[in-house]
Amino acid sequence: MVGLTSILREAWKTATNAEDKREKIQALLLAKECYSMKLELLTNATVVDDAIRFVAQKSCNLKDNNAIVQDNEIERYEGTTTTTNDVF
């Protein structure tokens, strides 16, 4: 998607700055093709499902990693001893 957006940006720059009509038409055709590709990617159910599954999996992995880190911190904290005057 990022690549298509970059291509679109350049195509529109070329189309607006081109003096030759053929160059302008080619740039507009490229922009049209990019819009079609973006629409296809965004509406393709398989791609959308894969993206949702990927994000859900990464989110779950992050939650698991955070739980492990918190458990380790609790174990370290519980393993320390305190003194009555909190000097040592």
CA 67 to CA 78: how far, in whole Å?
16
The rounded mean pLDDT for the chain is 81
84 lies in some domain: no
CA 70 to CA 34: how far, in whole Å?
46
Same domain, 5 and 38: yes
Same domain, 5 and 39: yes
86 lies in some domain: no
Q: Which range, of 1-5, 23-27, 38-42, 81-85, averages the lowest pLDDT? A: 81-85
CA 7 to CA 57: how far, in whole Å?
31
Q: Per-residue confidence at 83, pLDDT binned at 50, 70, 90? A: low
Same domain, 16 and 31: yes
Residue 53: give the domain boundaries. 45-78
Same domain, 38 and 50: no
Same domain, 9 and 36: yes
pLDDT of 32 above 90? yes
- Amino acid in position 2: V
DSSP string for residues in 52-72: HHHHHHHHHHHHHHHHHHHHH
Same domain, 27 and 39: yes
pLDDT of 28 above 70? yes
CA 12 to CA 46: how far, in whole Å?
30
